[in-house]
Amino acid sequence: MRTEYKEACDYIDELRKFTTKHSLSYTGECLEKLGRPDRKFRAVHVAGTNGKGSVCAFLASVLKEGGIRCGLFTSPHLVTMKERFRIDGEEITEEVFCSAFYRVRDISREMEKTAEGCPTYFEFLFLMGMVIFAEAGVQTAVLETGLGGRLDATNVIEYPYLCVITKISLDHMSILGDTIEKIAAEKAGIICTGVPVVYDGDVPGAAAVIEETAKKKHAPAFPVTSDKYKILKNSRSGIDFSITGSYDESAFLTVPSPAPYQVRNASLACFAARKLRETCPEKFSVLSEEVIASGIRKMVWEGRMEEVLRDVYIDGAHNADGTAEFIRAAKILSEGRKVDLLFAAVSDKEYAEMIRMLAEGLHPVRVTTASVEGSRKVDASELSFIFRSSGVKDVTSVPDMQEAFRHAVSGREDRMLFCIGSLYLAGSIKELLRSEKNDQL
């Protein structure tokens, strides 16, 4: 099966080279050919700029804790494509992946004969997810949008239980728009007529757009703002916080992460779970406050301020807003200690601004830069030049990401190491550590 799985992944990877994004009607036609697997369950649909993957993971963990069979579809993956599909918190097997792959490949070949051609990389994986969840008999699926929302392939789903929109900031501006309001309009495109939407309400421009869209679609809208939650205790293993609802409901929860940004994401998931319980009690009455708290506490989400070795953390922050949140968390973790950085980025991100923020915010002693693979890579030498221009004296370029990690880990003395800039970097490090662990077995 291993060879079969690799061949399936290679086939999907090749789609990046010769396909272009299609309309939602095209994705709907593909689902029709598959027998509309998406109609065998209902979903919670999540969009946003930062934190949407974490919110999805928190919410899926809560649903699992409540005994609700749950599918989770997220992107991108860190190491293997299978990570994008989880059932009750467990990554699917290669056998399940290949079974869904063959079904989607068959209809893809049919579509290839039409004027619109075969599905794109993301569309293909989304279609696979719908097949996987239907065949697994999930009761609810938590779906993370890929890029944007309004035109995203996931937006073909019908009658979601709930829509969730996480924090919105400037990212993918060449595609989604060059202002917060324009980006918010794209993200708010997932809002459906009459379907409740829970959203981050701390960015005024984004909140106004979401509220206006919800009003036009007669969708009840529920903002979650920072005054709804309060951090009580922060440690390396997690953060204790309290949260209050609209009916004076209060709860004390713990996120299994030292990153303060996960408190906001967990709060969004908590309010989303409460809203599910309130609007669909026949399905979600099991989501008691105790179940919600337990699900939040048990959530596992790799690559987000994750300690992979002692005093070595990886974080998937890849835009300016995410970098600001990362710096806040890194300062708490490294209080009283000096830090090193390992950095890589892709070309369509504001990496120069991210580097400036890191240099000024953390004052790293030593920086190692690497290059991600593929057409979107930024040369490690260019990243090194920007770090030096930002005042960092000890900077080394090591293009290969795994070799760069080995270099960054060596000679740290008592300094902490943070690896940041791209989920591709986080994935490469995870792959290296997994390989080394397997070699030792």
Is 251 in the same domain as 375? no
Q: Answer yes or no: are the C-beta atoms of 72 and 44 closer than 8 Å.
A: no
Is 267 in the same domain as 321? no
By CB neighbour count within 10 A (0-12 exposed, 13-18 middle, 19+ buried), where does 255 fall? buried
Residue where a domain stops, chosen among 298, 324, 359: 298
Q: Answer yes or no: are the C-beta atoms of 242 and 253 closer than 8 Å.
A: yes
| Number of other CB atoms surrounding residue 338 within 10 Å | 15
Is 324 in the same domain as 192? no
Beta strands in 209-295 (DSSP E): 221-224, 229-235, 238-244, 250-255
Residue 271 tokens read as 């309010």
Is 268 in the same domain as 395? no
Is 389 in the same domain as 408? yes
**339-343 and 416-420 beta bridge pairing:** parallel
CA distances (Å), origin 134, targets 69, 128, 272: 11, 10, 23
- Write the single-letter amino acid at 293: A
Is 294 in the same domain as 331? no
pLDDT tens figures, 257-290: 988 999 999 999 999 999 999 999 999 999 999 9
Q: Residue 279 forms beta bridges with which residues?
A: none
CATH number at residue 273: 3.40.1190.10
Structure confidence at residue 340 (pLDDT):
97
Residue 91 tokens read as 């990554």
CATH number at residue 380: 3.90.190.20
DSSP 244: E
Ranges of residues in the chain whose predicted pLDDT is under 70:
1, 17-18, 171-175, 245-250, 437-441
Is 128 in the same domain as 19? yes
Q: Answer yes or no: are the C-beta atoms of 181 and 205 closer than 8 Å.
A: yes
Q: Answer yes or no: are the C-beta atoms of 176 and 189 closer than 8 Å.
A: no
Q: Answer yes or no: are the C-beta atoms of 424 and 346 closer than 8 Å.
A: yes
Q: What are phi and psi of 342, to 5 degrees?
A: -120, 125
Is 96 in the same domain as 220? yes
Q: Is the peptide bond before 37 cis (omega within 30 degrees of 0)?
A: no
Is 363 in the same domain as 227? no
Residue where a domain stops, chosen among 298, 331, 362: 298
pLDDT tens figures, 309-365: 999 999 988 788 889 989 999 999 998 899 999 999 988 788 999 999 999 999 999
Structure confidence at residue 114 (pLDDT):
87
Structure confidence at residue 304 (pLDDT):
87
Cα dihedral sign for 417, 422, 426, 432?
A: negative
Is 350 in the same domain as 401? yes
Residue where a domain stops, chosen among 281, 298, 315: 298
Residue 404 tokens read as 């760069």
Q: Answer yes or no: are the C-beta atoms of 200 and 168 closer than 8 Å.
A: yes
Structure confidence at residue 441 (pLDDT):
39
Q: What are phi and psi of 306, to 5 degrees?
A: -100, 130
Q: Answer yes or no: are the C-beta atoms of 224 and 198 closer than 8 Å.
A: yes
Is 317 in the same domain as 428? yes
Residue 345 tokens read as 């980025």
Q: Answer yes or no: are the C-beta atoms of 1 and 99 closer than 8 Å.
A: no
Structure confidence at residue 169 (pLDDT):
85
Q: Residue 222 forms beta bridges with which residues?
A: 198
Q: Answer yes or no: are the C-beta atoms of 355 and 423 closer than 8 Å.
A: no
What's the domain count of the chain? 2
Structure confidence at residue 172 (pLDDT):
61
| Number of other CB atoms surrounding residue 194 within 10 Å | 10
Is 257 in the same domain as 366? no
DSSP 386-437: HHHHTT--EEEE--SHHHHHHHHHTT-TT-EEEEES-HHHHHHHHHHHHHHH
Rounded to whole angstroms, how far apart are CA atoms 80 and 208?
A: 38
Q: Which residues span the domain enclosing 361?
A: 306-440
Question: Mean pLDDT over all residues of the chain?
Answer: 92
- Write the single-letter amino acid at 302: E
